[in-house]
Amino acid sequence: NAGVTQTPKFQVLKTGQSMTLQCAQDMNHEYMSWYRQDPGMGLRLIHYSVGAGITDQGEVPNGYNVSRSTTEDFPLRLLSAAPSQTSVYFCASSYSPADSYEQYFGPGTRLTVT
Amino acid sequence: AQTVTQSQPEMSVQEAETVTLSCTYDTSENNYYLFWYKQPPSRQMILVIRQEAYKQQNATENRFSVNFQKAAKSFSLKISDSQLGDTAMYFCAFMKFEDSNYQLIWGAGTKLIIKP
């Protein structure tokens, strides 16, 4: 198993550009989520999904869209990048948070918006 | 609203010593889960230990153990016989899950440095 994969690892965008961060998992996990990590702060939940076709907002959803058309993939879209979105983004998956199963994290994407 | 506080931004100890990282949280819920995650310089997030709030027994994983004080809302992590490879950021996290509502709150992290 490859686990949770994220692409790209690094990205530089100009203000106003759009892009999609890719996340995929091959563990048949129902639950997937996106976090951002900023210096001096813990991870903050952006969006999450409890299964294909179901998504919901987390703590900091503004400026981001998600969709979950398959169990494996959970892309995060930035519609119009802003410098405040400069951060490290992590995708995570688990069987079910209700069972407190371990969340498996991807390697992260470092995004810089200039 | 639930919050998680890690009051130690940075700690350093000598190799082989024991170190305790503190974590407190605020919630009115009775059923929840608590986690400690480790993030080494590689940036990968790794689960260290997990505690279910309904369990009175403190969780233990090899050299890692927790002191879970539910009434005090405290969840400290003890690392025994610390090793150079334990150098990392450590994050405490609180999770509540009910129906389709999910909430995972993270502390700001403690940077732990193990000195040779």
Report the pLDDT value the prediction gives residue B70, as an integer from 0 to 100: 94
Report the pLDDT value the prediction gives residue A36, as an integer from 0 to 100: 96
Inter-chain touch A50–B104, beta carbons under 8 Å = no
Cis peptide bond N-terminal to A8, omega within 30: yes
Give me the half-sphere count of Cα atoms (radius 13 Å) on the Cβ side of residue A60. Answer: 16
Which residues in chain B have Cβ-Cβ distances shorter than 8 Å to A23?
none
Determine the Cα–Cα distance for residues A25 and B38; give it in Å rounded to an integer: 21
A97 close contact with B: CB closer than 8 A: yes
Report the pLDDT value the prediction gives residue B66, as an integer from 0 to 100: 97
Inter-chain touch B95–A100, beta carbons under 8 Å = yes
* Residue A108, token pair as written in the block: 């992260």
Identify the H or E element spanning A37.
strand A31-37
- The yes-or-no verdict on residue A100 having pLDDT over 70 is no
Beta strands in chain B (DSSP E): 3-5, 10-14, 19-21, 24-26, 33-39, 46-52, 60-61, 64-69, 74-79, 88-98, 101-106, 110-115
Q: What is the mean pLDDT of residues A87-114?
A: 86
The residues near B54 (Cβ < 8 Å, ≥ 6 apart) are B31
pLDDT per position in chain B (116 positions), as tens?
678 999 999 999 999 999 999 999 998 888 888 999 999 988 888 999 999 888 889 999 999 999 999 999 999 999 999 999 999 999 999 987 666 666 778 999 999 999 99
Give me chain A's average pLDDT, please: 92
Residues in chain A: 114
- The closest CB to that of A97, out of B46, B91, B95, belongs to B95
Q: What is the pLDDT of residues A35-51, one digit of tens each?
A: 999 987 889 999 999 89
- The yes-or-no verdict on residue A23 having pLDDT over 80 is yes
A48-57, A100-109, B63-72: least confident range: A100-109
Report the pLDDT value the prediction gives residue B99, as an integer from 0 to 100: 65
